Amino acid sequence: MTDAYVVGVDMIKFGRFPEKSVPQLGSEAALMALDDCGLKIQDIQALYCGNLGQSSGMVGQRILQQIGQTGIPVVNCANACATGATAFREAWTSVKAGLYDLVLAVGVEQMGKGLLGSAGGATGIPKEGLLGSGTMPTVFAEAGMEHSRKYGTTFEQFAKVSVKNHHHSTMNPKAMYQIETPLETVMNAEMISYPNTKLMCSVNVDGSAAAVIASEQKARELGLMNRAVKVRASVLTSDPWQERDLVMPDVNSCTRKAAAAAYEMAGLGPDDIDLIELHDCFATAEILHYENLGICGDGEAGRMVDDGEVALGGRIPVNVSGGLLSKGHPLGATGIANIYEVSTHLRGEAGQRQVENARIGLTHVIGLGSACGIHILEKAAA
Amino acid sequence: MSDRPLPAVDYLKIPEDGDPYLEGYKCSSCGAVFLGARSSCSKCGAREGMKPIALSNTGSLYSYSIVHRSYPGIDVPYISAIVDLDGGGTVKGNLINIDPDPDKIDFGMPIEVVYDDALGRKDRDGNSYLSYFFQPR
């Protein structure tokens, strides 16, 4: 089976663009990714498009209606916050299968402001505030408090995640925000769902990201190996049964299952990873995933953030892009934006926030409900 | 319009004569307990043998969050709690009759399930609803 490489990848600066349509936003990233490797839409053999908000709206085709209707197959994907990673993985799968040797994956989302979550069923009476809360800040607060219950993780440790990621974003011109948020600012921000304050919740933004994936032969033929990034592992899982998962969505088991499979596929372990972009939809979530991804032992995540091991310059930098907390979280774009971030470091092009000598990186997303997508990427040998 | 309150969720049962209770379904093959009716077991995959059981009205607090911002019109703060019921089944609901203060709330604290009107909420036909709540015991 051929190896598959990211040969072109880019993202737009995340922000709020109410004047643009979803296909327009997606088209921008698609063209940027094509430009990144000097290709045209006519070179692309299939398009895999991730979008959640208009999942019945044929967004992929509408992107081609903007940038070139070449008649290629288009697959539209929706998989909650794992939507972008799912589109990328479908693209990767088609190259691995030998069906195509040059394909495009696009993730795009236009978000409103405000709380995400379920307000309850369409019939009867609203359940929010009657049977607990289904808002995303609450669901992830409850997942974080489970960690507090087991290991004594504190509000302050959760808040430090947000301080770190906001600091990282000051070095990322494509992040929504570039603002330092000291610990007191994070902890004293409006409490949304204890222990998540407003600054510990991801930012709802509009955004898009895209990647061109090529077979090894095609990448060599096109002379694109010098900046190519090899996909060492691509894994997607759903949530295995857990006794509480009907009322408490479980983001841990599916991540652990995906991480084990990804390390096995890559023939690598957590110690081989130089940087990670993981799903910090809330500060409480990031803590869980240090352990789920095996970069520390169970119960050590609080210490990891206390000791700065996950900050830029630390043992294993996490979310140097600023993460979902500060770069922003356009649901369908996130899974490809984190592939852009890791690829940029592996190419040595990340500027001020560059992780020194980065050779191997890992991306992780969680779609609640649940889906987990993990990719392990490596700088290609030219 | 019904002359009796309706259940807020389909797994809350209100017998003609008897006290309300939460209903679970238990798998005869592997023993997994689920909220609400179902025909197959998602733990072991058994396609038959799911049996309705009355869940316990006592349990313990597993996890929680204190909700300070919710949708418009929802009173805050309140405690969104996840409770493990004695004998199986995990349920989410509001934890009441305790301060919404993390220093006052202990993981594992004993909880009882109580049944009361659904905070005055009515559907478009004017029906009242019976819901369940958790309180310290």
Distance CA A30, CA A212 (A): 9
Average pLDDT value for residue range A10-36:
97
Give the number of other Cβ atoms within 10 Å of residue B122's Cβ: 16
- Helix (H/G/I), strand (E/B), else coil: A22: helix
What's the mean per-residue pLDDT of chain A? 96
Q: Hey, which residues 87-126 in chain B have their CB within 8 Å of chain A? A: 90-94, 102, 107-108, 118-119, 121-123
Measured in whole angstroms, the distance separating CA A72 from the mean position of its chain's CA atoms is 27
To the nearest whole Å, the CA of A120 is away from the closest chain B CA by 10
Range of the domain at B16: 6-136
Average pLDDT value for residue range A35-47:
98
Comparing CB atoms, the residue among A125, A155, A196 nearest residue B8 is A125
- Residues facing B117 on adjacent strands: B130
Q: What is the pLDDT of residues A61-87, one digit of tens each?
A: 999 999 999 999 999 999 999 999 999
Distance CA A199, CA A185 (A): 8
pLDDT exceeds 80 at position A189: yes
What pLDDT score was predicted for residue A172?
98
Residue A60 near residue A75, CB atoms below 8 Å: yes
CA max distance for chain A: 62
Q: What is the pLDDT of residues A85-138, one digit of tens each?
A: 999 999 999 999 999 999 999 999 999 777 777 555 556 899 999 999 999 999
Say what the alpha-carbon torsion angle B5, B9, B12, B15 is, to the nearest 10 degrees: 40
Tell me which residue has tokens 């592939």.
A339
To the nearest whole Å, the CA of B133 is away from the closest chain A CA by 8
Spell out a b/e string for A129-146, using b for 16 or more CB atoms within 10 Å of the CB, else e: bbbbbbbbbbbbbbbbbb
A370 preceded by cis ω (within 30°)?
yes
Cβ distance of B131 and A130 shorter than 8 Å: yes
Sign of CA dihedral B53, B59, B61, B64: positive
B50 contacts chain A (CB < 8 A): no
> Is B1 part of any domain?
no
Instruction: Give all strands of the β-sheet with A229-238 in edge-to-edge order.
Output: A74-77, A47-50, A102-109, A207-215, A4-11, A229-238, A371-379, A360-367, A275-277
Distance CA A29, CA B117 (A): 52
- Residues facing A9 on adjacent strands: A211
Whether ipTM > 0.90 holds is yes
Q: Is A49 a catalytic residue?
A: no
Average pLDDT value for residue range A30-39:
98
Output Rg (C-alpha) for chain B, integer angstroms. Answer: 16
User: Side chain identity at A229, as an amino acid letter?
Assistant: V
Q: What is the pLDDT of residues A316-360, one digit of tens each?
A: 999 999 999 999 999 999 999 999 999 999 999 999 999 999 999
The verdict on pTM exceeding 0.90 is yes
Tell me which residue has tokens 């693209």.
A91
Comparing CB atoms, the residue among A127, A129, A146 nearest residue B63 is A146
- Residues facing B110 on adjacent strands: B60
Q: What is the DSSP string of B24-88?
A: EEEETTT--EEES--SS-TTT--SS-EEEEEPPSEEEEEEEEEE---STT---SEEEEEEEETTS
Closest CA to A29 of A371, A335, A276: A335
Number of domains comprising chain B: 1
What pLDDT score was predicted for residue A381?
85
What pLDDT score was predicted for residue B1?
76
Cβ-based contacts of A248 with chain B (< 8 Å): 62-63, 82, 90, 92
Poorest-confidence range of A6-20, A103-117, A197-211? A103-117
> Is B64 part of any domain?
yes
State how beta strands A102-109 and A47-50 pair: parallel
Cβ distance of A125 and B74 shorter than 8 Å: no
Q: What is the pLDDT of residues B58-117, one digit of tens each?
A: 999 999 999 999 999 899 999 999 999 999 999 999 999 999 999 999 999 999 999 999
What pLDDT score was predicted for residue A382?
67
Residue A211 near residue A336, CB atoms below 8 Å: yes
Distance CA B48, CA B93 (A): 29
Q: What is the pLDDT of residues B4-27, one digit of tens each?
A: 999 999 999 999 999 999 999 999
- Helix (H/G/I), strand (E/B), else coil: A85: helix
Cβ-based contacts of B35 with chain A (< 8 Å): 246-247
How sure is the predictor about B3, in pLDDT bands with cuts at 50, 70 and 90? confident
Average pLDDT value for residue range A12-29:
97
Cβ distance of A130 and B91 shorter than 8 Å: no
pLDDT exceeds 60 at position A229: yes
Distance CA A80, CA A368 (A): 6
Cβ-based contacts of B34 with chain A (< 8 Å): 246
Cβ-based contacts of B78 with chain A (< 8 Å): 129, 133
Q: Is A81 a catalytic residue?
A: yes
CATH of A4-113+204-379, one of 2.30.110.10, 3.30.1490.120, 1.10.3710.10, 3.40.47.10: 3.40.47.10
- Residues facing A191 on adjacent strands: A197
Comparing CB atoms, the residue among A125, A135, A194 nearest residue B118 is A125
Average pLDDT value for residue range A276-291:
98
- Helix (H/G/I), strand (E/B), else coil: A329: coil
Spell out a b/e string for A201-237, using b for 16 or more CB atoms within 10 Å of the CB, else e: bbbbbbbbbbbbbbbbebbeebebbebbbbbbbbbbb
How sure is the predictor about A1, in pLDDT bands with cuts at 50, 70 and 90? confident
Distance CA B1, CA A74 (A): 50
Cβ-based contacts of A118 with chain B (< 8 Å): none
Say what the alpha-carbon torsion angle A245, A251, A253, A255 is, to the nearest 10 degrees: 160
